[in-house]
Every structure is written in C-alpha cells, then in structure tokens.
Amino acid sequence: MRAGWAVVAGGALPLLLGAALGSATTTASADTWAAPMPPGAFLALSLGLAVSHLLVLLAYTSARRSTSGVASAAALVGAVGTAALVACEVWSGTLARTPLHAPVLGALDAAYGVSSLAVLVGTLVLAVVLLRSRPRLPLAWPVLVNGLALLVAIPLKFFTSDGVGVAALTVWSLTYVWWGLRMRKASRRHALPEAMDARTA
C-alpha cells in the first residue's frame, strides 16, 4: 500500500526539514514573519511542510474509505483540516517578509488554529470509534497517540516559546510514521488472503 509509505514520509519530513534548514539564520529583517530565518529558507521550509501535510492527508482519506458512519465522518473532518494546513503553510511562506505586527498575520494564526482544531477533533473522534470497534482495528492506537500528541502540541505552539512549540509539533508529526507503518501492515494482512484466493481460483 503506497499510501502507507507516503504517510511515513510525510511524518518524517518535518524532522528532516528542521535538520536541513533549522540552522539557517540571519540578523537582517529581525522584525519580519520569517525571522530569524532568511526569507528564502523560510519559504522552502513552509513549502516542505505543505508537502508533509499533503502526504499525511492520505492517512485520513484512506481511513475515510475503509470505515463508515461516525468514523468516516471524523476522518473527513481530519482530512479537511489537514488540507487547510497545506494552504496555511503555503500562505505562511508567501508572507516571509511581512512585518510582525501586520494584521494579516493575525488572520494566518487564526487559520492555523481553526485548521489544527479540525484535525484534532477528527483524529480523536476517529480514534475513539476505532478503539470501540470489535475486533479492534490495528490503526486504533497510532491514531489515538497522534490525536493526543496534537492535543498537547496546540497549546504549546500558541502559548510557549517557538522552540518548544516546534519540538511538540515535530513529535506530533512523527506519530504519523507509526500510523503509516500500521497502514502498511494492515494492507499486507488483506493482501495475503486475496493472493491465496487467486492461487486457488
């Protein structure tokens, strides 16, 4: 299942981006949205994060296709929130040179907040439904851990230092690696009976 590997890549990408671009700093334009990063590096980071969200979006679209009822609706909410985060990252990158007190940055923060809450609600509701299912689906625990990680990361991002917030969001992103690996495992379990049926047909 290629979607599983895509989710794994999307979950790991923010850590790789941070390692590659995190040391890029400048003292020029210290009062801009990109500070302390140069605008070019900040744009590259933002676009990379947009790609990360786009890849992990497959976790929600896959969950929506493979479930029904409340679980499918929750996955849809998570998918919409994740897609909105893609737009937020692209928007953020285009505002790299914007002064910190510009009103547009308040609108961007609000967009990030609403999008993150949609992802949070969709993920936690999906996790609860999966945990209550019998037999319990293999995605239940990684989805729950992902939602709890985001629940911790959101207030840390908005109400603590940038370093703490970025670290918390990176940890949240890494939980998609587990989610994607579980997607791979689940796909292999379904593929084996299908292969056996094909051999005996």
> Residue 189: what pLDDT?
60
The packing angle between helices 103-132 and 69-94, to 10°, is 160
> Residue 186: what pLDDT?
79
| 64 within domain boundaries | yes
> Residue 137: what pLDDT?
79
Tokens of 115: 């999008």
Q: Is the pLDDT of residue 29 over 70?
A: no
Q: Is the pLDDT of residue 194 over 70?
A: no
| 201 within domain boundaries | no
> Residue 145: what pLDDT?
98
What residue has token string 């070019």? 40
| 44 within domain boundaries | yes
**Which CA distances in Å does 73 have to 3, 58, 118, 145, 160?**
20, 15, 12, 19, 32
The packing angle between helices 2-21 and 162-200, to 10°, is 160
Per-residue pLDDT tens over the stretch 41-91: 999 999 999 999 999 999 999 999 999 999 999 999 999 999 999 999 999
* Mean pLDDT estimate for the chain: 89
Residue numbers of the domain that contains 155: 2-193
pTM of structure: 0.89
Residue with more model confidence, 126 or 191: 126
| 199 within domain boundaries | no
> Residue 25: what pLDDT?
78
| 200 within domain boundaries | no
Per-residue pLDDT tens over the stretch 151-180: 999 999 989 888 899 999 999 999 999 999
| 198 within domain boundaries | no
Q: What is the number of domains present in the chain?
A: 1
> Residue 26: what pLDDT?
73
Q: Which residues pair with 11 in a beta bridge?
A: none
Q: Is the pLDDT of residue 183 over 80?
A: yes
